[in-house]
Structure 1
C-alpha cells in the first residue's frame, strides 16, 4: 500500500510539491478550504478544511481518517501554516517541527524574542499598542522603521515609514492598517536596515545545517509602491562574495536552530547591513514564489522539494542530494499592472519565446479586477528564466516582462 502524505494547502504554488510527491509514488491527500483549489486536480484525495486554523484542520482530517485512513507524513509548501502541520503531526503521531517551534515561526514578536535570547543578530524591535506610541517612537528614534502585524503573511499590513519623507503616512493610519491585518490585533515596529536583502532556504538535519537556496532579493520598486514593501523577485547566484555568503548562511542556520528546528526546513529573510548579516524573519516551511520548487533546482541542481518530502515522511535525505552541484543563472520577476479591470493581455507568447525563459505564468484574466499593489498576493504574474550567468538571466527575464502588456481601465 502506498504511503500517504497530507499536504496542507492546495493553491497554485503548492502544485509542484503535490506533483513531486505523486512522482515519488506517494498517495497525496491535499487539504484546502477552497473547494476549487487548483492543487486538488493533482492529488489523489482532497479534504476541505482551513489550513490556518489547526483545530479545524485536525477535525477535518479526523473525519477523513474515520474510514480507516492513516497518514504517514504531513507538510505545507507555499502556505505559512507550520502551526497546522505541527498540530496534525501531533494528532496522528507524525514527524514535523514541534508545536513550540511552529508557534515561534508564526508569531513575529515571539520569534524576535527568541532570537534576542539566543544572541541572533536582528534589528531593534518593539511591540506597540497605540498611535501615540508609534508617534513617540518615530520622534525619538528619528530613523526609518517598519510597522507590521505580528501574525500575518505575504507582506500584508507591512509598511516602511521613512523618517522625514513626504511619503510618510499618518501614524494613525499606519497603526490601524497594520493592526487590521493581524488576526489577533497585535502590531510591532522594527528598525529598517538598509542593504542587500537575501532569501535563504535550507534544512536542519540532526543539528547540521544546509543552505542550498541563496538568492539576492530585488526591491527595485520599493519607492514606487511606498509605503508598502513589495519584492520583485530576485536572482541566483548571489552577487555577494563567498565570505559574505558564508556569514549569511551561518547566521541563517543558527536562527533555524534557535527556533528549535532539528529535522526540517527553514526559510530565512536576511539583510546585509553595513557588512553584517541580520535576520529579519525565519519561516519553518517551504517557501512560495517557486523558490524551492523551481529556482533552487534550476540554480543548484538540488531537488529541494523531494528532500523536504523525505523529511516529512520521517526519512533523512542524503546530504549529498542537498549539496549544490553547480551554479547556473536564474532570475525571477513579477508583473504589476495598473489597478482596474483587465481589458486586454498581450505579448505572453512572445515572452515565452525569449531565450532561457522557463516560466511565464499569468495570474489574471480579461474581466478580472487588478487591486492596488499593497502586498505580494496582488502580483498578476511571474516570469522565470535560466542562463549561464545571473546577469544574462536577468536581461532575458526583463526583456520578457517588457513584452507582456496587461491593459486595465
Structure 2
C-alpha cells in the first residue's frame, strides 16, 4: 500500500515538490485555496483549503479522511505555512514542527525574542506602534534601519530606511506601508547590518543539524528598488572563506534548534557583519524560489526535497544523504521589466538555447500589467544556470537575462 503525503500549497513553485513525491511512489494530496492552482495537475488528489488558515485546511482534510483517506506525512511547499502543517500533523498524529515552533517561525518579534533568550546573535530590534515612535527611534539611533511587518512574507512591506539620506521615505508612509502588510497590524524595526547576506537551508535530525544549502544572496538592485528590499537571486558556491561558511552553518543549526525544530527542515536568512554571522530570520519550512528543489541539488548533489519528504513521513535520512558530495556553480537571476502593460516578450527561445541555462520561466504574458516591484511576488520570471564554477554560472545567467526583452508601455 502506498504511503500518502499531504502537500500544503499547490502554486507554481510547489510543483517540483509534488513531482518529487510522486516519483518517490507516494500518493500525493495537494491542498490550496485556488481551484486552478497549477500544482493540482501533479497531485493524485486535490483539496480546497486555505494554506494560511490552519482550521480550514484541517476541516477539509478531515472530511477527506472520513471518506477513507489516511495520511502518513505532511509538508508545505513554497508557502510559509508551518502553522497549517503543525495543525494537520497534530490532528492526524504525524511528524512535523510543533504549533509553538510554527508560531515562533512566523511571528518575527516572537522569533527574535526567542533568539535573544537563547543567545543567538541577531540585529537590534524593537516592535513599534506608531510613526511617531519610528521617528523617535531614527533620531535616537541615527543609523540605517529596516522596518517590516511582524507577520508577513515575500518581502512585503519591508523597507530600508537610510538615516540622513535625502531619499529616505516619509516615516508616516513607511510605518503605514509595513502595517498594512501585517494581518495583525503589527510592525517592527531592526538595525540593518551591512555585509554579505546568505540563504541557508538544512535539517535537524534527532537533534543534529545538517546544512547543505548555502547561497550568496544578490542585492544588486537595492538602489533601483529603494526603499523596498528586493533580492535578485543568488550564487553558489559561496565566495566566503570556508571558516566563515562553517560559522554561518553552525549558527543556522543553533537557531533552528532554538526555535524547537527537531526532525524537520529550516531555512535561514543570515548576514556576515564584521566577520561575525547573525540571524536575520529563520523559517521552519522548505524554501521557495527553487532553492531547495533545484539550486541545492545542482550545487551539492544532495536530494534536499527527497530527504525533507522522508522526514515528513517519519523516516530518518542517512547523514551521507544530507551531506554535499561536490560544489558546482549555480546562478539564479530574476526578470524585472519596466512597469506597464506587456506588449511583447522576445528572446525566450534564444535564452533557452544558451550555454548552461537550465531554467527559463516567464511569469507574465502579453496583455498583462506589470506593477512596480515592491515585493518578491512582483518578479516577472526567473533564469537559472549551471556550470563547473560560480563565475561561469553567473556569466551565463546574466547573458540569458540580457537576451530576454519584456516590453511594456
1:28 — aligned with what? 28
Q: May I ask how many residue pairs the two structures share in their alignment?
A: 409
Matches within 5 A, 1:155-234: 155-234=155-234
Query: What per-residue deviation string (whole Å, max 9, x for no partner) do you get for residues 54-85 of structure 1?
Result: 11111111111121211110000111000000
Matches within 5 A, 1:4-403: 4-403=4-403
Structure 2 unmatched ranges of 5 or more: none
TM-score by length of 1: 1.00
CA drift of 1:326 comes to 0.3
Cα distance in 2 for residues equivalent to 1:31 and 1:77: 10
CA drift of 1:90 comes to 0.1
CA drift of 1:167 comes to 1.5
Cα distance in 2 for residues equivalent to 1:5 and 1:321: 20
CA drift of 1:11 comes to 0.3
**Secondary structure in 2 aligned to 1:243?**
helix
**Secondary structure in 2 aligned to 1:110?**
helix
Query: What per-residue deviation string (whole Å, max 9, x for no partner) do you get for residues 128-170 of structure 1?
Result: 0001000000100000000000000000010000001122110
RMSD: 0.5
**Secondary structure in 2 aligned to 1:393?**
helix
Cα distance in 2 for residues equivalent to 1:48 and 1:353: 38
Range moving further from structure 2, 188-197 or 54-63: 54-63
Cα distance in 2 for residues equivalent to 1:324 and 1:343: 44
CA drift of 1:177 comes to 0.6
Structure 1 unmatched ranges of 5 or more: none
Cα distance in 2 for residues equivalent to 1:382 and 1:230: 14
Q: Which contiguous aligned blocks of 4+ residues in structure 1 show a shift greater than 6 angstroms?
A: none
TM-score by length of 2: 1.00
Cα distance in 1 for residues equivalent to 2:74 and 2:180: 31
Query: What per-residue deviation string (whole Å, max 9, x for no partner) do you get for residues 172-203 of structure 1?
Result: 00000100000000000000000000000000
CA drift of 1:354 comes to 1.2
